Amino acid sequence: MIVDFTIFPTDAGESVSAYVAQVFEIIEASGLKYEHHSMGTNIEGDWDEVMAVIKSCRDLMLEQSNRISISLRIDERKGVTNGIERKVASARAKMNRA
């Protein structure tokens, strides 16, 4: 499955990039496939392994904040384990403008 994941403290003021940096460190150390983009990070793997990474990020945020906001959008398709590399390419191959 792929999860589009965002997390941030809602009591830390306008800039949250220092918190996002900590989340990047956890995700990149996890060994899972990931894709950072300007509105979140896509993480691909099995349910338990992806959710363990997300819980670690959440635990770290709660050490530094009283209130956090998390968004997860999940696409789970049987037999697909390389969605991060394949999904955009698959749509692009079907474009008239491709």
Specify the residue, 31 or 91, whose C-beta has the smaller distance to its own copies. 91
Residue 81 binding its own copies, by CB under 8 A: no
Q: Per-residue x/- marks for its own copies, 22-61, CB under 8 A?
A: --xx--xx-----xxxxxx-x-x--x---x---x--x---
Strand partners, 2: 44, 75
CB 81, min distance to its own copies, A: 13
Question: Contact at 8 Å (CB) between 63 and 27?
Answer: no
Of the candidates 13, 18, 25, which has an alpha carbon nearest to the alpha carbon of residue 57?
25
